[in-house]
Chain A
Amino acid sequence: MSLERRGYNKLKIELSIKRRPRELPYSNIIVPMGSIIISLIVSDILLVLSGVDPMVFFIVLADSFLSFSSIRYAIPLILSGVGLAIAYKANVWNIGAEGQILAGALAASGVALFYIPPDMNPVTAAVVLYVIGFSAGAGLGLLAGILKARFNVNEVLSTLMLNYILMQIVNYLVYGPWRGVREYGYPRTDIFPDNVWLPQLIIGDMRTTVNIPTLAISLIIPFLMYFLLFKTKWGYEIRVVGSNPNAAEYGGINTGKVIALTMIISGGLAGIAGVGEVLGIYRQLIRAERVSAGFGYTAIIVAWLGKLNPIGALIAGYFIGVLVSAGYTLQIISRISYGAINVVTGILLLSLISLDFISKYKPIVKVVR
């Protein structure tokens, strides 16, 4: 009776994994960088296959690194991405940044149209509207947070469904009661009064679509949130709850409060992004698909690409902003649809997850007979 001769004569490939005793060194840098490189190369191959000159993609990309349009897209991505990073750090899976952006945009638009007197000081008006937008996004987030903390409703489902509800509300308003009288029947509200317009950056005589106050906020918030997460007691609670809920309960941390807090922060920051979009760029409330434009979903990639670190999300947000901007340019110069850029972000997320896995686990491939 042999131990080995038991019908293992065919060649077989065995896959297994082993947890590494430590994460690979520098994985915090190598993983995001590696996944960016992989996604760019794979995407370029796909573009070449659809008839684009291989260098075009990289030229457009390099060009976008220095364009204001990239900064314009980076602003909502950074704000929502940082917020999501905070929520994900606490193991709260907020997928609702899209709806929270809309909530912020919707609330700010309503107040700007109907409540802000035309003679109000623009600075006061901006502060009021940012607060309103933050509260609206935070409120929507908190709703999902309470459902989770109190009734154990899965936040992935509730936040995702709230996205569609907000989308329909915005569209109902712009097609219905709020449709502008001077807009020739287009589905959008009237232009807001001047005193609520957020000032745009002007370089020489070129007007950019970058609005200064929201840009400033999106540059400050990541550092503020980094401080919150790693230096304060609230950040400590967030990280403990996210890493080990049992240990949190053991240590007397109120998990429900932490869930609510992270939903308020992430929803509120997305709300501010929404305010920036309507007051800083469009100056009117338009169709939902164009206000949030998928930023809320793309921000999920921003959060992960930044390794759930707020400052990482700042850098990642800028990079994804570049990609989005490059996508629009590519569409114009090479007749490739804008959707092609979603391939890049999709591959980016895939390679990010795979590389992250490899940095933690060692894959073992064996051929056995």
Chain B
Amino acid sequence: MRGMSRGTTPQNLFFNQEYREALAYMKDISKSFYGNKALNNVSFNLRKGEIHVILGENGAGKTTLVKILAGLYSPDSGEIFLEGKKVNIESTRDAIKYGIAMVNQYPQLVEELTVADNISLSLNNVGLFNQTSKIGDKIIEISERYGFRIQPWKEIMNLSFSERQRVEIIKAIMLDAKVIIMDEPTTLLTTKERRLIYQFMKKAKADERGIILITHKLSEALEIADRITVLRKGKVVDTVDVSEATYEKLMEMMFGRTVAIHEKILKRGLGETTSRRVLEISDLSVKDNYGRLAVNGISFHIHKGEIYGIAGIAGNGQIELVEALYGLRKPVKGDIKIMGKNYWEYSKKEIKRIIGYIPDKIQDAVVLDMPIYENSILKLYDTSEYIRNRFIIDYDRAIEYSSQLIKNYYIAAEGPDVYAGYLSGGNLQKLVLAREISIDPPLIVAVNPTRALDHFSTEFVYETLYKFKETGKAVLLISEDKDEVLRLSDRISVMYEGRLIEMGRREDVDVDLMEEYMIRGQNED
């Protein structure tokens, strides 16, 4: 092909050895969401047989960049070249066709089907006849070669988190992907499981594949990478060889200054606690949807003016705990007291109003095909504040109220009549937070409240929760992000397999020990 004469291709590209040989080269990529620049002229290249780490804070644009390569987003501007040829990736199907596969942070698999069925689905060979029996052998072969053990005939719902992740990895290999993107794959793994992932990446690299690893862990980048590209606020700071990189240097690249994370965490003073207990839980047990004991006899309490943080990896009973607390799930045994009164003394509706709840799945707290103003009154629509003539809703008032929320909580929406479905995940999260805090309940339960948020919104949410607690209210913070828990909470515990491990007041917490408990439920020694 006479590529040089092609107008769309910059001439210098073909004289530049580096880019011609790049397995994947993304050039001057820009992408905005609702007016916010997520990526600003980012260029990135991946060589054959390398592990290329993309490093950056939450909200730096790492995931956006790889989602463009994987066909999940389309860039506003910029070009993508694969082995020197310009390509147009419009969908995940295109990406798969070009040999690009992404291993999701939260594996997206069909719970009821087996491993082989799930892989078969993505291979696009679902025909009249089931061909999964052939696939089964291939799965076993691949899993042995890369050192995973996985049974192709097991249903996904019986697999642990790390096993699910392996399914996604095997899928990528079965698709014969040349570019494998791994989005924070080790966040929720034990040390041993983490080793297996590293081992896989090294073997894949030896097969001439290119691995893109997204992480915000410096130590991981230094341990496994060949090259490291650091992103900050949507721009590339630099791409460096791992031999040139040090912990301090990367730190400075990521944050623009040298700060130890722990200093940042302890910047805030501790809250003054009073003896009044807002929430008191004793010996609570709750079952999950499958009838298994997800919460196993836990007890704790939260004072007025206190943030109680529960750290833990998803799936250790946190969701069942808060659902029982919010009245969505019946406990098997145990007592809950709120403001000194027994749980059953409150009606179902009252519970919803004395607990502000920001759920893990934010979509469960909003109605996407209703405008913001209707969403803003979800908990108050039948109170005297919004009801005229006994049953007519005062929508003028709702519109006025929601305009206030949009303004005070910096929700990116043109006005109160925008449908919630057109808001980004982060803005939905802010909308729910705004609504729940405005009800002014004595207790807020927040589950991963900043998961979908960029750097600035995260800070805003922290600020809001902090101010809320300072007015003498209580917050139960449940998060997978240990730094978040450490930064906000007055007292901390770790949830592991349905039990709580008290870590004590924040200043007494041994961070390494806490991480051990989160991953393993016990100290390694």
Q: Which residues in A have some Cβ–Cβ distance to B below 8 Å? A: 1-4, 6, 8, 14, 16, 18, 21-22, 231-234, 236-237, 239-240, 243-244, 246-247, 249-252, 254, 364
Instruction: Specify which chain A residues have a CB less than 8 angstroms from the CB of B97 in the assembled complex.
Output: 8
| Residues on B with beta carbons closer than 8 Å to the beta carbon of A3 | 23, 82-83, 98-99, 178
Contact indicator A232/B392 (Cβ below 8 Å):
yes
A250 near B357 (CB under 8 angstroms)?
A: yes
B309 at the interface (CB under 8 A from A): no
Cross-interface CB contact of A233 among B98, B369, B393, cutoff 8 Å: B393
**Shortest distance from the beta carbon of A256 to any chain B beta carbon, whole Å:** 12
Question: B364 to A252, Cβ gap below 8 A?
Answer: no
Q: Which residues of B contact A21 (CB under 8 A)?
A: 422
In contact, A251 and B352 (Cβ under 8 angstroms): yes
Given A249-B328, A250-B328, A240-B392 contact (CB < 8 Å): no
Give the residues in chain A near B91, CB-CB below 8 Å: 16, 18, 364
Q: Looking at the complex, which of B165-173, B228-236, B313-321, B376-384 is the stretch in contact with chain A?
A: B376-384
Q: Is the CB of B368 within 8 A of A16?
A: no
Contact A252 B348, CB 8 Å, known A1-B208, A3-B82, A16-B93: yes
Q: How far is the CA of A60 from the CA of B370 in the complex (A)?
A: 42
* B159: Cβ under 8 A from any A Cβ: no
Q: Which 10 A-B pairs have the closest CB atoms?
A: A252-B352, A246-B364, A251-B378, A252-B349, A243-B367, A244-B367, A233-B382, A232-B391, A3-B99, A3-B82
Which chain A residues lie closer than 8 Å to B359 at the CB level?
A: 250
Assembled-state Cα–Cα distance A232/B326 (Å): 26
B83's contact among A2, A16, A243, by CB below 8 Å, is which? A2
Do A22 and B378 have beta carbons less than 8 Å apart? no
Interchain CA distance A234-B208 in the complex, whole Å: 62
Contact A244 B85 (CB under 8 A): no
CA distance A234 to B392 in the complex (A): 9
Main secondary structure of the interface of A (DSSP, over half): mixed
What would be 6 A-B contacts, judged by CB atoms less than 8 Å apart?
Answer: A3-B98, A233-B391, A233-B393, A250-B378, A251-B378, A364-B90
Residues of B within 8 A of A237 (CB): 381
Contacts of B348 in A (CB 8 A): 252, 254
Q: Which of B93, B98, B99, B366 contacts A14 (CB 8 A)?
A: B93
Q: Does B452 contact A (CB under 8 A)?
A: no
Complex Cα gap A2–B352 (Å) = 58
Min CB distance B176 to A, Å, is 8
- Is residue B365 contacting chain A, with contact meaning CB distance below 8 A? yes
Known: A236-B381, A240-B367. A4 touches B85 (CB 8 A): yes
Given the interface contacts A16-B93, A244-B366, A247-B378, does A231 sit within 8 Å of B392 by beta carbon? yes
A236 and B82 form a contact (CB under 8 A): no
Q: Which residues of B contact A251 (CB under 8 A)?
A: 352, 378-379, 381
Identity of the chain A residue whose Cβ is nearest the Cβ of B375 in the assembled complex: A247
B374 at the interface (CB under 8 A from A): yes
Beta-carbon nearest neighbor of B82 in chain A: A3
Nearest Cβ in chain B — how far from A332, in angstroms?
A: 45
User: Are A22 and B422 in contact, with the CB atoms below 8 A?
Assistant: yes
Residues of A within 8 A of B42 (CB): none
What residue in chain B is nearest A245 (Cβ atoms)? B364
Residues of B within 8 A of A14 (CB): 93
Kindly provide the distance from the CB of A149 to the nearest chain B CB, expressed in whole angstroms. 15
Contact with A along B86-97 (1 / 0, CB 8 A): 000011010001
Residues of chain B lying within 8 A (CB to CB) of residue A239: 367, 370
Q: B387 within 8 Å of A by Cβ?
A: yes
Task: Give Cα A313 to B191, complex, Å.
Answer: 61
Which residues on the B side are within 8 Å of A231 (C-beta)?
Answer: 392-393, 395
User: With A and B bound together, what is the CA distance between A243 and B370 in angstroms?
Assistant: 8
Least CB distance from A173 to B in Å reads: 40
Q: How far is the CA of A1 from the CA of B83 in the complex (A)?
A: 10
**Which of A16, A22, A247 contacts B366 (CB under 8 A)?**
A247
Distance of A252 from chain B, by nearest CB (Å): 4
B370 CB contact (under 8 Å) in A240, A246, A254: A240
Chain A residue at smallest Cβ distance from B378: A251
CA A205 to CA B357, docked complex, whole Å: 68
In the bound complex, do residue A247 and residue B367 qualify as a contact, i.e. CB atoms below 8 Å apart? yes
Which B residues from 57 to 98 make CB contacts under 8 A with A?
A: 82-83, 85, 90-91, 93, 97-98
What chain B residues lie within 8 Å of A240 (beta carbons)? 367, 370, 378
Q: Beyond A22-B422, A236-B393, A247-B367, list 18 extra A-B contacts (CB 8 Å).
A: A3-B83, A231-B392, A232-B393, A233-B382, A239-B367, A243-B368, A243-B370, A244-B366, A244-B367, A247-B364, A250-B328, A250-B352, A250-B357, A250-B378, A251-B352, A252-B351, A252-B379, A254-B348
Bound CA span A232–B387, Å: 9
With the chains together, A1 CA to B370 CA distance in Å? 51
- In the complex, what's the smallest C-beta–C-beta distance from A90 to chain B, in angstroms? 13
Complex Cα–Cα for A8 and B97 (A): 9
| B26–chain A nearest beta-carbon distance, Å | 15
Residues in A neighbouring B382, C-beta threshold 8 A: 233
Q: Which residues of A contact B178 (CB under 8 A)?
A: 1, 3
- Closest Cβ of chain B to A25, distance in Å, is 14
Complex Cα gap A243–B421 (Å)? 11
| Residue on A nearest B398 in the bound complex, by CB | A236
Residues from chain B with a CB closer than 8 A to the CB of A234 are: 391
The interface residues of chain B lying within 8 Å CB-to-CB of A243 are: 367-370
Residues from chain A with a CB closer than 8 A to the CB of B378 are 240, 247, 250-251
Determine the chain A residues whose CB is within 8 A of the CB of B83 once the complex forms: 2-3
Which residues of B are found within 8 Å of A22, using beta-carbon distances? 422
Whole-angstrom distance from the CB of B20 to the nearest CB of chain A? Answer: 14
Bound CA span A252–B395, Å: 20
Closest residue of chain A to B370 (Cβ to Cβ) is A243
A130 to chain B, nearest CB (A): 23
Chain B nearest CB: distance from A334 CB in Å? 44
